[in-house]
């Protein structure tokens, strides 16, 4: 029997104020359900026959199960059997953590998580060594790479059924740890320190409040905090270091001024006072004494002068499915291809090979 795959789809991502203060998109429940069905179709095509799914109170899983039932009524077998997890629901991020822990304990080969960076962070906080395949249905998502859910399903299916070796299919990722009050909180991409000392609407969209930034990777093709660092020094997910950025203001002169896309459609002038690479394991005490810690672009914890904060980059912190590597290998190894034997292939090639141009 092939391993089961876990499906966690957050119905509540992409709902915050950035739909008003920026031009962010919303993702409707029906569209999220369709994305899950596309993942399931990909999984099934690669041999996965069983999946477990986090239930929810927004109707998302219901729509998925209805789609599966319809295929069954048509006499089609397009999807794996999907079993809802037996778990209490609170409509909070705890649901995601609980589901990820249950999937890990149940031996899921991987967890496909649809949501924003916050959803993916919650999965990773609870899934231990179980690899994650992240799909973005959030706002400023930096962690999830842009992949069609169908293709994510195919790649994960090839990986968990052993058609691709783990060393190729899964990659190790960096993360950032913030320790405050003896508690460790993780970020997948960035930790920003902002002067707002309240969490409120959570989102970050006021550059004048930005004070410090720590990134595990910095990609100028993204939007949000990682993009700010990416415009200074692009840093890949595989580079063995991170970046610390100190913003200008409060008496600090700008060494560089950026025009940075900090939210969808929102490009803001950002003054940067200084930056440097940070090594894994180095515990850094931020300069800001009171403010809020924002993980992957959302204010989560307010802190005051009484609180001791330290930030550390960790290597090899969790595993994810390398979708691009899986699909390249699928192509080169012919995993999704069946060649017709020569004797059945007709009268020869239809196309001539291109000649080398001079």
Partner 1 sequence: MSDNPFPVDKAGLLEAYRMMKTIREFEERLHIDFAKGDIPGFVHLYAGEEAVATGIMMHLNDRDRIASTHRGHGHCISKGVDVHGMMAEIYGKETGSCLGRGGSMHIADLSKGMMGANGILGAGAPLICGAGLAAKFRGDGGVGITFFGDGAANQGMVLESMNLAAVWNLPVIFVCENNGYAEATSRDYGTAVKSYVDRGAGFGIPGVHADGTDFFAVYEVVGELIKRAREGGGPALLECEVIRFFGHFEGDAQTYKAKGENEYNRANRDCLKIFRAKVTEAGVISDAELDAIDGEVAELIEDSVASAKAAPLPSPKDLMSNVYVSY
Query: Which residue ranges make up the site for partner 1 (CB under 8 A)?
Result: 11-12, 15-17, 19-21, 26, 28-30, 57-59, 62, 91, 195-202, 290, 302, 304
Q: By C-beta, is 307 or 333 nearer to partner 1?
A: 307
Least gap, CB of 11 to partner 1 (angstroms):
6
In angstroms, rounded to a whole number, what is the distance separating the alpha carbons of residues 258 and 193?
18
In angstroms, rounded to a whole number, what is the distance separating the alpha carbons of residues 250 and 237?
32
Least gap, CB of 139 to partner 1 (angstroms):
11
Residue 257 neighbours by CB under 8 Å, 6+ apart: 248, 269, 270, 271, 272
Are 235 and 218 contacting, i.e. CB atoms less than 8 angstroms apart? yes
Q: By C-beta, is 17 or 179 nearer to partner 1?
A: 17
Q: By C-beta, is 64 or 154 nearer to partner 1?
A: 64
CA of residue 189 relative to chain centroid, distance: 9
DSSP labels, 211-271: EEEEES-B-TTS-SHHHHHHHHS-B-SSSS-EEEEEESBTTBPPSEEEEEEEETTEEEEEE
- Grouping H, G, I as helix, E, B as strand and the rest as coil, residue 63 is helix
Least gap, CB of 304 to partner 1 (angstroms):
7
Q: By C-beta, is 259 or 306 nearer to partner 1?
A: 306
Least gap, CB of 127 to partner 1 (angstroms):
25
Q: By C-beta, is 238 or 250 nearer to partner 1?
A: 250
Least gap, CB of 268 to partner 1 (angstroms):
16
């Amino acid at each position: 029997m092939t391993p089961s795959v876990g499906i966690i789809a957050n119905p509540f991502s992409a709902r915050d104020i950035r739909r008003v203060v920026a031009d962010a998109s919303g993702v409707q429940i029906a569209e999220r359900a369709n994305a899950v069905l596309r993942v399931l179709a990909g999984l099934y095509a690669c041999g996965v026959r069983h999946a477990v799914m986090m239930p929810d109170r927004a109707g998302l899983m219901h729509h998925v199960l209805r789609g599966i039932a319809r295929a069954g009524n048509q006499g089609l077998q397009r999807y794996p059997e999907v079993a809802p997890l037996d778990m209490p629901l609170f409509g909070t991020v705890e649901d995601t953590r609980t589901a990820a822990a249950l999937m890990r304990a149940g031996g899921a080969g991987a967890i496909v998580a649809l949501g924003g960076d916050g959803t993916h962070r919650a999965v990773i906080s609870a899934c231990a060594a179980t690899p994650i395949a992240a799909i973005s249905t959030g706002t400023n998502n930096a962690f999830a790479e842009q992949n069609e859910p169908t293709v994510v399903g195919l790649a994960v299916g090839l990986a968990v059924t052993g058609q691709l070796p783990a060393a190729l299919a899964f990659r190790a990722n960096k993360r950032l740890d913030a320790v405050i009050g003896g508690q460790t909180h993780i970020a997948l991409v960035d930790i920003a320190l902002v002067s707002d000392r309240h969490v409120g609407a959570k989102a970050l969209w006021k550059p004048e409040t930005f004070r410090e930034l720590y990134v595990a990777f910095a990609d100028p093709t993204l939007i949000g905090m990682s993009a700010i660092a990416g415009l200074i020094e692009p840093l890949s997910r595989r580079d063995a270091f991170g970046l610390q950025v100190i913003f200008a203001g409060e008496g600090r002169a700008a060494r560089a001024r950026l025009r940075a896309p900090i939210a969808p459609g929102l490009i803001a002038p950002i003054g940067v006072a200084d930056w440097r690479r940070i090594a894994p394991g180095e515990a850094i005490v931020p300069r800001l004494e009171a403010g809020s810690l924002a993980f992957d672009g959302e204010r989560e914890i307010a802190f005051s002068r009484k609180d001791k904060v330290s930030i550390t980059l960790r290597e090899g912190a969790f595993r994810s499915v390398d979708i691009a590597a899986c699909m390249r290998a699928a192509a080169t190894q012919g995993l999704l291809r069946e060649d017709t034997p020569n004797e059945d292939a007709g009268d020869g090639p239809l196309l001539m090979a291109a000649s080398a141009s001079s």
